Amino acid sequence: MAPSSTEIAANAVGARARIQQFIYQTPLIPAQKVGKSDGATVLFKAENFQLTGSFKIRGAMSKMSTSAANKSLITASSGNHGVGAALAAKTFGRSLTVVLPETVVPAKLEKIKSYGVEVILHGQETGLAERHAQELAASGAYEYISPYNDIDIISGQATIGIEILEQCGHVDNIFISVGGGGLISGVASVIKDAKPATKIYGVSAVNSRALAESIAAGKVVETKHLPTIAEAVAGGIDYDTITLPLAMSVVDHLIDCREEEIISAMKEMAFDEHMIVEGSAALALAGFRRVAPSLAGQTSIILLCGANVGVPGMKEIIFPT
């Protein structure tokens, strides 16, 4: 049975106590330009400055701090969860195998390998990597850790919500990129528990919107996945994922963004806000851009979920040949 949003909010308090010595409390940074022309106040929750360059370290540390130490672990990732899980495994002295899609961003692959974990490349998208990891775990040789379908993972990501509440007295809207749903269901559970009036916007890439389509259908549905610059939110979701009922209970609005909108947001972050972020983080800004004219006079937070983008890839985006 899926936990309620109230349970996640309560569990986040314990998760924070377990992981706070291993992570950064990231800043809430006022935008320099974003929102100004629309009369909106915008703040960036800068998980792009997190220890591993992504929020994923929160959930990984939360899980590793509660996982039994008598079994080898296996997980799957598009990259950022793999980085966080690899560092968490090293921190707690655990044996870990990370299954990644063959399309993993090279910069993320190198980060994962640097922590000394075993790496398996399988499939062209994260959903296939997840299924392979689950099959290997079914043999009994490993304990499988889902990158999103796990209460301890979600509770770790939810600690971002606790920090936001401490850093900002009033929040009208929060924009969060949507992948498997661990981030949005965790953060939104904490925010809604404390401030029910705050609106939660989930932003998906048009090319890979498994959770968004499942929310619309009220059940997990098969989704076609195309390549996206926001590769960290690409891939399918488990049929029994607890993130679906959680997200359905706490997300107010869903927005889909095209690839050109995400790329434009990456450029805007670099040139106007002087921050390099990956596509999945820029996705949240692209979602804000869609509705910004209607948010005049309101305070909106854009959650920048990560910055693990390679130099060649970023150069190609900002200065295309």
* Structural fold of domain 56-145: Rossmann fold (3.40.50)
Amino acid identity of residue 247, one-letter, is: A
Q: How confident is the model at residue 31 (pLDDT cuts 50, 70, 90)?
A: very high
Q: Where are the domains of the chain?
A: 5-55+151-318, 56-145
Domains 5-55+151-318 and 56-145 share a fold: yes
The model's pLDDT over 144-202, given as tens digits with 9 standing for 90+, comes to 999 999 999 999 999 999 999 999 999 999 999 999 999 999 999 999 999 999 999 99
Distances from the Cα of 116 to the Cαs of 87, 104, 111, 294, 300, in angstroms?
9, 17, 10, 48, 40
CATH top class, domain 5-55+151-318: alpha beta
The model's pLDDT over 286-311, given as tens digits with 9 standing for 90+, comes to 999 999 999 999 999 999 999 998 77
Q: How much is the pTM?
A: 0.96
DSSP β-ladder status, 253-257 and 28-30? unpaired
Helix (H, G, I), strand (E, B) or coil at 241: coil
Complete DSSP assignment for 6-24: HHHHHHHHHHHHHHTTTS-
For 34, the token pair is: 């974003």
Q: Give the closest residue to 275 by CA, choosing from 22, 25, 23, 30.
A: 30
Q: State yes or no: pLDDT of 67 exceeds 90.
A: no
- How many angstroms separate the first and last alpha carbons of the chain? 51
Q: State yes or no: pLDDT of 312 exceeds 80.
A: no
